[in-house]
Structure 1
Amino acid sequence: MPIELPRDERAQAVASIERYFNEELDQRIGNIGAGALLNFFLEEIGPLVYNQTVAEVQERLQQRLLELDIELHEDAFQYWRKRQAGGKGKR
């Protein structure tokens, strides 16, 4: 599944790459070069980030599911225990 950015976010990413080359590397890359570099990173490295994020989300969901069991667990057959603890007996 290719990673695609919305048009406005892609434009911001290209501008950021151009700025990085200009300010950090003292080089001009231009709009087309920055767009090509962005495409390369999205295709080559994007899946690594995506897969890692999916794995982390799966782990967090699994932990949350385990917590739900603790939070929502109700013991059965509690009527008589509650009745004894409350001091309510036969009248």
Structure 2
Amino acid sequence: MNNKINLSKEKRNHMVSLIQSYFQNERDEDIGELASSLILDFIIEELAPVFYNEGVADSYKYMTDKIEDLLGIQKLLR
């Protein structure tokens, strides 16, 4: 299983641009493309797995609840 997040060049460039805009608008700092790219790499490597795992856990709970609902209906029909 490949755990690496692969972004298209367009998506990566857009995200780098968003990071640069954030620093400019929120911190009144100009940061270059390299610094923004390194921040993006950090987010992808260190933070994204946490959000991904939360999404998986939420999906699991949702699907489990739906399966239990389905089984509940089956028991009513017996």
TM-score bracket for this pair, using the shorter chain length: 0.7 to 0.9
TM-score of the aligned structures, taking structure 1 as reference length: 0.73
4+ runs deviating over 3 angstroms: none
Tell me the residue number matched to 1:58.
Answer: 60
Query: Are the structure 2 counterparts of residues 10 and 68 from structure 1 closer, same or farther at C-alpha, using a change threshold of 3 Å?
Result: same
User: In the TM superposition, what whole-angstrom CA distance separates every residue of 1:47-78 from its partner, at most 9, and x where no partner exists?
Assistant: 11111111111111100100111234421xxx
TM-score of the aligned structures, taking structure 2 as reference length: 0.84
Q: 1 or 2 for the larger relative contact order (CA 8 Å, sep ≥6)?
A: 1
Q: In 1, distance between residues paired with 2:71 and 2:31?
A: 54
1:12 aligns with 2:14: yes
Alignment length, in residue pairs?
A: 75
Question: 2:71 pairs with 61, 69, 72, which one?
Answer: 69
Q: CA RMSD in A?
A: 1.4
Q: In 1, distance between residues paired with 2:50 and 2:8?
A: 20
Instruction: For structure 1, list consecutive stretches of 5 or more residues without a partner in the other structure.
Output: 76-91
Which is helix-richer, 1 or 2? 2
Name the larger-Rg structure: 1
